[in-house]
Structure 1
Amino acid sequence: MNVIETAIPGPVIIEPKVFGDDRGFFLESWNAARFREAGLDFDFVQDNHSRSAKGVLRGLHFQNPNPQGKLVRVVAGRVWDVAVDIRRSSPNFGRWVGVELSAANKRMFWVPPGFAHGFVSLEDGTEFLYKCTALYDPASEHSLRWDDPALAIEWPLEGVVPQLSGKDQAALTLAEIEGYA
């Protein structure tokens, strides 16, 4: 697999080795030994799967306390996936990185603990999978505003008004959240 550093230390793009022929393809989406050899040593405790219509924006979510690291990928459709550094002690506090993940490009994205995470679905029927390093804890879950001007995230919405959950409509700005130390 190929591990690609991003503009912020921590989040990385992972391109798995894909074996394909006229029958289809095969890839390893998780192999603890291979990931560990690449410096990505995680213990996952929960897998999640969501399906979204085009224009659905989920996030930016984080848990504090009980932060989650997430290894995310798309198995149908495509998304613009974003990680925001919300570690107040980080020199990159408030900076974000984004990557297009799709069934076609088969890329994965590692979002470490200490980052808010979200994505917008770019196609109907997009299916998004993610492995988490901590269990979902509703009491620790928070949302950071997807459109906070302080973040200036470049969402590829092309005039589309995103569909948000009630939780995401009520999300706080970067200045209002209690980030990590």
Structure 2
Amino acid sequence: MSGRFEAVTTPLHGLLVLTRRKMADERGFLSRLFCEDDLAAFGWQGRVAQLNETGTTFKGTVRGMHFQCPPHAEIKLVTCTRGRILDVAVDIREDSPTFLQHFAVELSEDNACSLLIPQGFAHGFQALTDEVRMIYAHSHPHTAAAESGLNPQDPALGIDWPLRVINLSPRDAAHPWLSPDYRGVAA
């Protein structure tokens, strides 16, 4: 355990669930969301190039499965600060022994967990409650020409969304299902 984070490994190499240690007293609590020194031990490389907050109004909403293609690939640290989500990462690294396998974990304002997603993964989530808020730290700035994604309802991914999928953006719904010759992205 580092000073503020404890890592739980997943079956997908490099993908980690981080539990944040809360310091609390009668006034409330403090929970560190990011620390370059601590997170370097878990695979964070470089700077935080971008920090984003998202709000999702309705439970059942799915956002994803997004990634940026090399050389603009990014590491993400995803944290839910309000409500609950099912956070999902899919391994799309070519030649990975876990290629196209996914891992899902519930993140919530109560469980103090974050998902550290290395390069070579597609990411998405489903809101399990109304009024979800999330914070994303990105190691690389958004590059529109490098953005891509997988269709979150593609049966080839095998993602079992717990709620009926609603509010899928036109962009996310337009991602085609994977063809048999899909090879992923270079690691």
**How big is the shift at 1:148?**
1.1
1:87 partner letter? R
Aligned length: 178
Hey, what does 2:39 align to over in structure 1? Answer: 35
Partner of residue 136 from structure 2, selected from 130, 137, 143: 130
Q: Which runs of 5+ in 1 are unaligned?
A: none
Name the counterpart of 1:21: 25
Letter in 2 for 1:106: A
Residue 146 of structure 2 corresponds to which residue in structure 1? 140
Alignment equivalent of 2:102, drawn from 72, 96, 102? 96
Q: How far 1:32 moved relative to its partner?
A: 1.4
CA change 1:154–1:48 in 2 (3 A) is same
| Shift of residue 178, structure 1, vs aligned partner | 6.2
Q: What corresponds to 2:56 in structure 1?
A: 52
- Structure 2 residue 79 is matched with structure 1 residue 76: no
- Normalising by structure 2, we get a TM-score of 0.90
% identical aligned pairs: 37
Match of 1:64 in 2: 69
Q: Which amino acid aligns with 1:148?
A: D
- CA displacement at 1:39 relative to structure 2: 3.4
Maintained 8 Å contact 2:20/2:32 = yes
Shift in Å at residue 138 of structure 1?
Answer: 1.0
Q: CA deviation at 1:177?
A: 5.5
Q: TM-score if structure 1 supplies the norm length?
A: 0.92
Q: Does 1:106 align with 2:106?
A: no
Q: Is 1:4 the equivalent of 2:8?
A: yes
Kept in 1, the 8 Å contact 2:51–2:136? The answer is: yes
For 2:167 and 2:182, the matched residues in 1 are separated by 22
- Of residues 162, 181, 184, the one that matches 1:179 is 184
Q: Distance in 2 between matches of 1:59 and 1:168?
A: 6
Question: How far apart in 1 are the matches of 2:44 and 2:73?
Answer: 16
Q: Cα distance, 1:140 vs. partner?
A: 1.0
- The residue type equivalent to 1:63 in the other structure is Q
Give the structure 1 partner of residue 173 of structure 2. Answer: 169
Matched residue SS, 1:169 = helix
Residue pair 1:94, 1:174 contacting (<8 A) in 2 also: no
Answer yes or no: is the 8 Å Cα contact 1:16–1:29 preserved in 2.
yes
Which of 144, 157, 160 is equivalent to 1:154?
160
